[in-house]
Structure 1
Amino acid sequence: MPEKDTSGKRQTASRQLLIRSQIEIAAVLGALANDKAPLAAYLEHGELLFLTRVLHVDAEAGHIVVDYGPSKRANSALLSSRTIRLHCERGGLHLEFLAFRPTETIFNDGAAVQFDLPEVMIQYERRLHRRVRIPPHLPLRCFVDCPGVGSFEARVADIGRGGVGTILHDPANRLEPGRVLTDCRILHPSRPPVRADVQISYSINTQLPDGTPVVRSGCRFIGAPDELAELTRVFVVELDED
């Protein structure tokens, strides 16, 4: 007869590790606090990104304290939520957990947010080609200036560490599958520009939530893999490949 697992962990078929031990959850969160590791949560149907880090863990009192994020709008949305899903990458692993009852508090003379200590934490290995969603209010832009296509600007909707991604652009710019856009500039508002070629794999007509028509082009970013990984490192909430 198999022995009962009393470790507070359960390995799922998809190589996920489900952690239920409050002692171990507190230890993991404490390590994140020591590392000052960034955590993220998407709010308002993915339109807002809340970025934070763990400031304090009190296992005995049953709560954690996190920092306010740089976006006032995201902070306000956070405090209006009953629960959020926080994500973090650490040591090649992806961690996520639900955080309940956000309330304002003071920690080390600064404003902060307190949550209940999570009851469950999920840990799984990060895949090589998972996608990183780029929130609309924190734009990652791709500037194209290529013979035969002309000059235009596209928004990077998502990008994976393997270079696979998606761009959104004006329908006036027709991009056929197989076309390579050379020497494109990929810009984040607070990071140095990255230059890379962009190879188009498909293009479909779609529209933004406000009804604006756009073309969604699947692509692969070629070259500068380290720079692209660093550029998108902050966007830690990942999506599976289509």
Structure 2
Amino acid sequence: MAEPPASARNALINWDAEQSEYARFLLRSRGEILQVLRGVAKGRELVTVYFDHGQRFFLSSLLAVEPGQDALFLDWGADEELNRRALGASRLVCVTAHERVKVQFTLDGLDQVQWNGRPAFRARLPKLLLKLQRREYYRLVCPLREPLFCHIPLKSEPLEAQVVDISVGGVGLGNLAPNTPLLVGERYPGCSLTLPGEGALLTTLEVRSLQDLALRNGGLVKRAGCRFVDLPAAQQAMIQRYIIRIDRERIALAKGA
């Protein structure tokens, strides 16, 4: 599998941070976390595992959850080179779904083990898990092979920002310059982005959060969480169709279709 482009780096960093816009959706109870993970395993949901600060990823599934071992087991990836690199990663971010609601959790490293006679990954159970409680909050991590960009007509000069995730409620913008002119609480009318296969969206964005993300070279970029202001129902439907199509494509890819 090809590596994501440089512009996709850091797309997932700090999504589970206590100070993030998603903090209220974090599960901390071991019982609740186990319930969600078991549901993911039972539903055979696709799990996208990101590492190296989002520079690389592979597709997997959750094989089992073993609280007595403080462990979960993930299916071995299809690319041996990515598997080798993943084993050397100290932090990995898993994105999946439970009952059609987005789920995300972080793993502190992987070990290679045998599972029913075949290779698999083993990791310690996460202590935090993000589960968005309402379906309308479901956020799709945008495909790296076909990135989305949002045009924001700022007064100083137009800004082209990569969309790292999208829902019917808003977008996450990544890889922004440290001195980005975007301000929390400000609304920016006339923003536009094009969804492949659906068409163009024209909307007002309100910036809800700004986060500093550290690059491996020591540099900094920002990530902005934005909501759509009064997005028409027809455009919400466009986003829903886009999310469903991309999810289906990822499932087909994981099955080798």
Range into which the TM-score falls when normalised by the shorter chain: 0.5 to 0.7
1:20 corresponds to which of 8, 21, 30: 30
The 3-state SS of whatever aligns with 1:49 is strand
Gaps of 5+ in 1: 1-11, 143-153, 169-176, 187-193, 203-208, 210-217, 236-242
Report if aligned partners of 1:83, 1:101 keep a CA contact under 8 Å in 2: yes
Report if aligned partners of 2:27, 2:128 keep a CA contact under 8 Å in 1: no
Find the structure with the greater CA-based Rg.
1
Question: For residues 70 and 227 of structure 1, do their structure 2 counterparts lie closer, same or farther at Cα, with a shift above 3 Å needed?
Answer: farther
| Fraction of identical pairs, as percent | 18
Question: For residues 118 and 158 of structure 1, do their structure 2 counterparts lie closer, same or farther at Cα, with a shift above 3 Å needed?
Answer: closer
1:162 corresponds to which of 168, 172, 175: 168
Gaps of 5+ in 2: 1-21, 150-159, 175-188, 206-214, 216-225, 251-257
Distance 2:118 2:134 in 1: 34
Cα root mean square deviation, aligned: 4.2
What is the TM-score normalised by the length of structure 2? 0.52
Would you say 1:196 and 2:199 are equivalent positions?
yes
Deviation at 1:156, TM superposition (A): 6.6
Deviation at 1:140, TM superposition (A): 4.3
Deviation at 1:200, TM superposition (A): 7.2
Distance 2:135 2:97 in 1: 11
Question: For residues 113 and 15 of structure 1, do their structure 2 counterparts lie closer, same or farther at Cα, with a shift above 3 Å needed?
Answer: closer
Matched to 1:90, the amino acid is H
Deviations 1:151-206 (A, max 9, x none): xxx997335222855899xxxxxxxx84989xx771xxxxxxx232343769xxxx
- Give the structure with the larger helix fraction: 2
What is the TM-score normalised by the length of structure 1? 0.54
Question: For residues 71 and 157 of structure 1, do their structure 2 counterparts lie closer, same or farther at Cα, with a shift above 3 Å needed?
Answer: farther
Task: Please name the residue that 1:45 is paired with.
Answer: 53
Task: Please name the residue that 2:242 is paired with.
Answer: 228
When the two structures are aligned, how many residues end up with a matched partner?
A: 179
Q: How does 1:1-242 map to 2 (within 5 A)?
A: 14=24, 16-21=26-31, 25-91=33-99, 93-126=101-134, 128=136, 131-134=139-142, 136=144, 138-140=145-147, 157-162=163-168, 178=190, 186=196, 194-199=197-202, 222=235, 224-233=238-247
Distance 1:108 1:91 in 2: 27
Deviates more, 1:29-38 or 1:73-82: 73-82
